[in-house]
Amino acid sequence: MFARRSSPPPARSSSDPLQPVGTGVELHRVAKRFGQTDAVAGADLTVPAHSRLGIVGPSGCGKSTLLSMICGLTDPDAGTIDVLGAADAPGRLARCAWMPQRDLLLPWRGVLANARIPLENQGLSRREASRRVQPLLDRFGLAEFADHRPAQLSGGMRQRVSFLRTVAAGKPVLLLDEPFGALDSITRADLQDWLRAMLADEPRTVVLVTHDVEEALLLCDRVVVMSARPGRVVASVDVPPYAGTGAAARRARLADPDFVALRDTVLAHLEAAR
């Protein structure tokens, strides 16, 4: 992924498991139970490679469970999950990066040392891992904070470090579980803009779980609504793309009557799904 930034994408080869091959993520009749409760019951989803799917739904509808099943941290009780051709949990784990609402930074490591963890885990020396992560720090606006510990950073910066670490893992599928949920609205808007720009620069298959309908509509090209427990997909809307970045473009988008209508549609589905 580091090479892909400056050079054109390498030719897809079927031998490279991390290269997208048409379908990104596909869920078929996926179900999960915890004791007596059905967390997810018969979820069907298709996320084409390099597209961005938003999932909204009431609290406790199994959105997070769905993400941990996709990335192979847990297995579904029934149904199949296919991530870029891998159906087994270790294969899915190799292809998916997961970013939860909490930044989960290691308090004893500085920004750079936190960000290079995925590379150290792959067997690179600290020095080599630092060298490869350094350009990302610049790009994420964190270069001057390389040695700061997480406790010295603001919530927005910590979340950016966490995101940087997720990106450094070099996985083709990003699973974002309310990534900006804990931030104030201005920081959240900044990071949404920044994430949009980053994904436009370097497309990945994204599944975004959020409470925030606007966030889903701003960042994704399709948004599905899940019902209350047991979670099931009840509605799906396609979101036309919009151009431009920054606060002005974002305000224009939010005021666009088509966007407002789309938001009302999703909110209506959400209310019906409760």
Partner 1 sequence: MTATRLWPSVLVGAVLLGAWEFVTRVLHVEEYILPAPDQVATTLVDRWGSTLRSATWVTLTEIVLGFAISVAAGLALGCALHFSAAARRALYPLLIGSQTIPIVVIAPILAIIFGYSITPKLILVALICFFPVVIGTLDGLASVDPELVRMMRTLHGRRVAIFTRVEFPAALPSVFTGLRLAAAYAATGAVFGEYSGASDGLGHVMRQGVPQLQSALVFAAIVLLTAMSVVLFALVNGAERLLVPWHRNPTREGNTR
The smaller minimum CB distance to partner 1, of residues 71 and 224, is found at 71
CA 248 to chain centre: 24
Q: Which residues contact 146 (CB under 8 A, 6 or more apart)?
A: 110, 111, 112, 134, 137
Q: What is the CA radius of gyration of the chain?
A: 18
126 binds partner 1 (CB under 8 A): no
The smaller minimum CB distance to partner 1, of residues 100 and 213, is found at 100
Biggest CA pair distance of the chain: 54
For the bound state, the minimum distance from the C-beta of residue 244 to partner 1, rounded and expressed in Å, comes to 32
- The closest alpha carbon to 57, from 212, 215, 227, 269, belongs to 227
The smaller minimum CB distance to partner 1, of residues 1 and 235, is found at 1
- The closest alpha carbon to 225, from 61, 42, 80, belongs to 61
167 binds partner 1 (CB under 8 A): no
For the bound state, the minimum distance from the C-beta of residue 167 to partner 1, rounded and expressed in Å, comes to 11
CA distances to 33, 56, 212, 243 from 69, rounded to whole Å, are 12, 17, 22, 33
Query: Which of the ranges 51-59, 80-88, 105-113, 188-196 carries the binding residues for partner 1, by CB under 8 A?
Result: 105-113
For the bound state, the minimum distance from the C-beta of residue 34 to partner 1, rounded and expressed in Å, comes to 15
Answer for which of 20, 52, 62, 98 binds partner 1 (CB under 8 A) is 98
179 binds partner 1 (CB under 8 A): no
- The closest alpha carbon to 105, from 59, 48, 68, 154, belongs to 154
DSSP, collapsed to helix, strand or coil, labels residue 124 as coil
Peptide bond preceding 230: is omega within 30 degrees of 0, i.e. cis? yes
The smaller minimum CB distance to partner 1, of residues 89 and 254, is found at 89
Q: Are 182 and 101 in contact (CB under 8 A)?
A: yes
93 binds partner 1 (CB under 8 A): yes
For the bound state, the minimum distance from the C-beta of residue 122 to partner 1, rounded and expressed in Å, comes to 5
146 binds partner 1 (CB under 8 A): no
DSSP 231: B
For the bound state, the minimum distance from the C-beta of residue 64 to partner 1, rounded and expressed in Å, comes to 11
122 binds partner 1 (CB under 8 A): yes
117 binds partner 1 (CB under 8 A): yes
Residues that bind partner 1 (CB under 8 A): 68, 71, 73, 93, 96-98, 100, 102, 104, 106-108, 117-118, 120-122, 149, 151, 165-166, 169, 171
